Amino acid sequence: MDYIIRIIPQMGLGALESLKIFSVVIVLSLPLGMILALGRISGFSFIKKFIATYVWVLRGSPLMLQMLFVYFALPSIGILFEDFTAAIIAFVLNYAAYFCEIFRGGIQAIPKGQYEAAHALGMNYWQTLRRIILPQVFRIVLPPISNETITLVKDTSLVYVLAMNDLMRTTRNLVQRDFSVVPFLVAAIFYLGATLLLTILFERLEKYYAKSSAN
Amino acid sequence: MKKIEARNLVKNFGKLQVLKDISLTVDEGEVIAIIGPSGSGKSTLLRCLNKLEEIDRGTIIIDGKTLVQDTGTGVQYANDVEQREIVCRMGMVFQQFNLFPHMTVLQNLTEAPVQVQKRNIDEVTQEAKELLRKVGLIEKQDVYPLKLSGGQQQRVAIARALCMKPDIMLFDEPTSALDPELTSEVLQTMRNLAKEKMTMVVVTHEMTFAKEVANRIIFMADGIIQAEGTPEEVFGNIQNERLKNFLRAIEK
Ligand SMILES: Nc1ncnc2c1ncn2[C@@H]1O[C@H](COP(=O)(O)OP(=O)(O)OP(=O)(O)O)[C@@H](O)[C@H]1O
Ligand SMILES: [Mg+2]
């Protein structure tokens, strides 16, 4: 028990670093995913094809590979990033691709009649999108977004390959230093705590949005 | 005073010509019923009037304002802002209601008047409640649409359209998606509107309603107006073969 209390501050710092990555990635990749989705369903065939290719590449290859690419390969052509920045760029680009597909599915699930009703009431494109379409899309995409978000919590551990002092790396260092597996358990509790919080948050949101459903 | 003036409308879907040189004028306070077999272009005609579909040739003037003008080789639509202003002079009621499911009944009514017409929300709310009272649904104002029956949803949809204070109401088979026992409440709402001298264009399969409420019946088939006149003229002495067949078919 004493040992756990002793390692908590250090592990807390690691967890904080992981939380930082998580937050920045969520805040940036969700809007980017939304913009990509709007582009993907727009009338511009060049943009559509470009985004489709983007999504294919980013979803079709490992996030780890993408991260190492940003960190090690780009510097060779003169683009250099710090650890944190490199990780963030790779994560945001990758997660935006997933969110793009989720939002696209959500937008396409909205019946044509909703657009027609908005048109008949004189609403313009942005009013229709903001007031009619997106609120309904949010409800539809909540479960898959919840899934991705929980995956992201766990994916943040990948940054340990970049020698960042996130929760995973801190844990490993402690295990190797102290010849104890207790840090593993503490790390598991940190990750589980975070995913539990997110699960509850998303359940609340889903319940809130469910009030307008048919039954 | 002419509320709708549509001249020589042509509409193609690819190679299929759905409207073939259709002309239609509607005077203030008139109730027009459009009848005809499935696929004859009734919905398309209605949808062209508020630009849910774009016409290929022809001119549409709504309440004196030109929505689209024939240029001799094609058509020229008014600019976006003008278009929207013209379009929201017409209320549209759809077969599938198309209420906004994420908003309460009251919000469905107030949304466009506040967002589009920039009217004062308190004022609009008062008017919306008045309209809900009229269609008999005031006690449902805070309910979400999907919790209502089809007939109730359609009455909300009518109230939503009326909340924009339109000059004209367009109805595309407003009772076709309803169970038979729910159609009468919607038809009653429409009858009341007609009594208040609302200008209405109604695509319908309800022949009794058409005969009773419409000042003028338009029978369409194959993208052409085949017969047109008062209910007595159209149904009294049926000359048109197509109309004869159509009426015989729906009586069954
Ligand atoms: N968006 C579209 N694209 C291609 N063809 C269409 C489209 N909308 C309608 N059509 C075709 O145009 C024709 C007329 O359709 P419309 O919906 O106007 O008929 P309607 O008279 O309203 O029929 P109903 O009584 O079944 O509602 C039909 O052949 C239909 O298949
Ligand atoms: Mg139709």
Q: What is the pTM of this model?
A: 0.90
State residue B180's pLDDT score.
Answer: 86
User: Chain B neighbours among A 117-146 (CB < 8 Å)?
Assistant: 117, 119-124, 127, 131-132, 135-136, 139
Note whether ipTM > 0.85 here: yes
Q: What is the pLDDT of residue B252?
A: 64
CATH number at residue A125: 1.10.3720.10
Q: What is the mean pLDDT of each run of 10 residues along chain B (252 residues)?
A: 94 95 95 94 96 96 95 93 94 96 96 96 97 95 94 96 97 92 92 95 93 93 92 83 84 69
Give the Cβ contact number of residue A27 at 10 Å.
11
H helix intervals, chain A: 2-40, 45-60, 63-68, 74-76, 83-108, 112-120, 125-127, 134-155, 167-178, 182-210
| 8 A C-beta contact, residue B97 and residue B150 | yes
The count of domains in chain A is 1
Say how many Å lie between the CA of residue B38 and the centre of ligand 1: 8
Nearest CA in chain B to A214: B146
> Looking at ligand 1, which residue's alpha carbon is closest to its atom 9?
B44
Q: Do B112 and A121 touch (CB under 8 A)?
A: yes
Whether B161 contacts chain A with CB within 8 A:
yes
Contact, A149 vs A195, CB < 8 A?
A: no
Residue of B nearest to A139 (CA): B102
Residue A140: its chain B contacts at CB < 8 A?
none
Q: Ligand 2 center to residue B52 CA distance, Å?
A: 13
Q: Is B50 on the interface with A (CB under 8 A)?
A: yes
Cross-chain residue pair B96–A213, CB shorter than 8 Å = no
For ligand 1, atom 29, name the residue with the nearest CA. B39
Please answer yes or no on whether A113 and B98 come within 8 Å at the CB atom: yes
Structure confidence by residue, pLDDT tens digits, B16-60: 999 999 999 999 999 999 999 999 999 999 999 999 999 999 999
Q: For residue A87, what are the domain limits?
A: 2-214
Asked if B214 contacts B32 with a C-beta cutoff of 8 angstroms, the reply is yes
Closest listed residue to residue B135, CA positions, set B88, B182, B192: B192
The atom number, within ligand 1, closest to the CA of B95 reads 27
Residue A91: predicted pLDDT: 93
User: Which positions in chain B touch A215 (Cβ < 8 Å)?
Assistant: 147
Residue B243 Cα to ligand 1 midpoint, Å, equals 19
Q: What is the pLDDT along chain A (215 residues), one digit of tens a residue?
A: 788 888 888 888 888 889 999 999 999 999 999 999 999 988 888 999 999 999 999 999 999 999 988 888 888 887 777 888 888 999 999 999 999 999 999 999 999 999 999 999 999 999 999 999 999 999 999 999 999 999 999 999 888 888 788 888 888 888 888 888 888 888 899 999 999 999 999 999 999 888 877 76
CA nearest to B77, candidates B96, B98, B51: B51
The predicted pLDDT at position B1 comes to 81
Interface residue B94 vs chain A (CB under 8 A)? yes
What residues of chain B lie within 8 A of the CB of A211, using their CB? 144
Locate the chain B residue with the closest alpha carbon to A136. Answer: B102
With a Cβ cut-off of 6 Å, ligand 1 is lined by: B 13, 18, 36, 38-44
At residue A151, the pLDDT reads: 94
